[in-house]
Amino acid sequence: MEIGAFIKLQRIKREMTQEELARGIVSMSYLSKIENQKTEASPEVISLLCTRLGLEIDSERDMTIKEKCQNWYDSLYEVNDKQEIIDTYEELNELLSLVRSDSLAMFEIHKVRYYLVLGEYDKALEQINKLNDMSSAFDNLHQYYWYKFKGNYSYLNGDLNNAMRMYNMAEEKVTKIYLKETEVADLNYVIAVTHSNLRNTLEAMEYAEKAIDIFQKDYNFYRCAQCHILLGISYRRIRMYDKAIENQSLAKHLGEINNNESIVQLVNQNLGNLYATKGLTTKAIHYYEEVVRSGEDVVKLNERLLAVTSLIKEYYLIGNIEKTSEMIDKALLLYDESMQQSGAHYQLFYYIINTYQYLINKEYENFESLVADEFIPYLKEQKDYGNLVIYAEMLGEHFEHLGKYKESVKYYKLASRTYEQIVNL
């Protein structure tokens, strides 16, 4: 990073105005030129500005910082103790506020990933906004991580299209810089996950294969398992069920030999989905039940909710009202628990649970008003086309049974148009 951009970054970090920093050293307009790299200041001026910013210049110390930073960056990619990551962050943050180091820009960029890892999405966005102004001074390596982490942020925020745009921009940088193979594999992996979420199945497979090649060479079984799960999902979507089962089984095996129960349960959820797609309800129920039975430390609340709502659907499908009702009660308890943690994310489950509850209680007016007036508008707003097709069709069928053909056609048409939208995506 150029010295001008570095000074600007440090000044913004300390919430100093240009006037405050320049006072008695240079004119404000000259400082502006230094910061924007329109002029090269003398070493004396740089030294005075650094002193005012409270920075030491120590190249030997900078080497140690660089090494420490690299270890910290690496720790943001593997399964590590979060407390250790926080402690190192605090140490580095303090060091870098005292010493003039070339590592500062990269450290500031990695803060975005750090906040994402800690689940502090607001802080990640704040950091992105803080760095936006500086991003024109980033070199190719900085830009690679800048785009990638902004992609990570967009993905976790549910904006998949923007995530893909950012990842593509990061990918364009790959040939221009030196990156470790595992870093390239991680980029391929996140692109694969994003494609898979966007239902771009073939692209998801292409990138998952690229990632798996590298993770295999690195003997990183945990990451290999993640890639096999992705491939399993993709093969199921193109109805190559044997290949799908093969990949999910491989992922499960890797999870088991690594004692990673979370991977095993993730595979169970996907095997449940696979058998549900094939219409083998009993088998699907078996796998979903496995997920529900696993410990709280293994399967998180939203994951458990996903499995329980999958069971509601399967039991309802085979007309087992007693078990459907039991699962609805279970889901409602989990939903209440989730509301105490954080509200918005679980809205989808609220609608699914209540839709089925009204159905089994034969409260058809409530069912109609919930699905037509709340659930469908919510799905449209969320652009959740998959669920929109399912519930618009469900409402269409319901009206058809009641002989309300005009209403029925309206929702069948919505399902049909939405379906076309998915196919054309």
Partner 1 sequence: MKKLFVGIALGAVLAAGVLFAQDQPAPTDLTMDGHPGILSVGQPSFEL
Question: Which residues contact partner 1 (rule: CB under 8 A)?
Answer: 75-80, 82, 85, 113, 116-117, 152, 155-156, 186, 189-190, 193, 196-197, 199, 222-223, 225-226, 229-230, 233, 236-237, 260, 262-263, 266, 269-270, 273, 276-277, 298, 300, 302-303, 306, 310, 348, 386-387, 389-390, 400, 403, 405-406, 408-409, 412-413, 415-416, 419-420, 422-423
The tokens describing 350, both together, are 């609220």
Q: Least distance to partner 1 from the beta carbon of 373, Å?
A: 22
Q: Minimum CB separation from partner 1 for residue 147, in Å?
A: 14
Residue nearer to partner 1 on the CB measure, 77 or 364: 77
State the nearest-atom distance from the C-beta of 422 to partner 1, in Å.
5
Closer to partner 1 by CB, 99 or 334: give it.
Answer: 334
Q: CB-wise, 103 or 248, nearer to partner 1?
A: 248
Smallest separation (angstroms) from partner 1 to the CB of 387 = 7
For residue 162, the minimal CB distance to partner 1 (Å) is: 14
* Minimum CB distance to partner 1, residue 26 (Å): 43
Q: Closest separation between CB of residue 226 and partner 1, Å?
A: 4
Nearer to partner 1, 106 or 116 (CB): 116
Rounded to whole angstroms, the Cα distance separating 303 from 160 reads 20
Nearer to partner 1, 128 or 415 (CB): 415
* CB 17 to partner 1: min, Å: 37
Nearest partner of 190 among 177, 174, 213, 171, judged by Cα: 171
Residue 319 or 423: the one with the smaller Cβ distance to partner 1 is 423
| In the complex, least distance from residue 420 CB atom to partner 1, rounded to whole angstroms | 6
Residue whose structure tokens are 């120590």: 58
Q: Residue 55 or 208: which CB sits closer to partner 1?
A: 208
Residue with smaller CB distance to partner 1, 50 or 276: 276
8 A C-beta contact, residue 308 and residue 326: no
Position of tokens 């990918």?
Answer: 171
Q: Which is nearer to partner 1, 30 or 241 (CB)?
A: 241
Q: Distance between CA 383 and CA 386 in Å, rounded?
A: 9
Least Cβ distance, residue 19 to partner 1 (angstroms):
41
Query: How far is CA 183 from each of CA 61, 163, 170, rounded to the nearest angstrom?
Result: 27, 17, 12
Spatial distance between the Cα atoms of 332 and 340, rounded to a whole number of angstroms: 13
CA distance 105 to 141: 11
In the numeric block, which tokens belong to residue 209?
A: 């294969």
Residue 40 vs 90, nearer CB to partner 1: 90
CA angle centred on 387, ends 385 and 389, rounded to 5°: 70
> Taking the complex as a whole, how short is the minimal distance between the CB of residue 71 and partner 1, in angstroms?
14
Which of 302/325 has CB closer to partner 1? 302
Q: Output the CA–CA distances (angstroms, integers) from residue 331 to 44, 130, 293, in the order listed.
A: 67, 41, 13
Rg, Å, the chain Cα set = 26
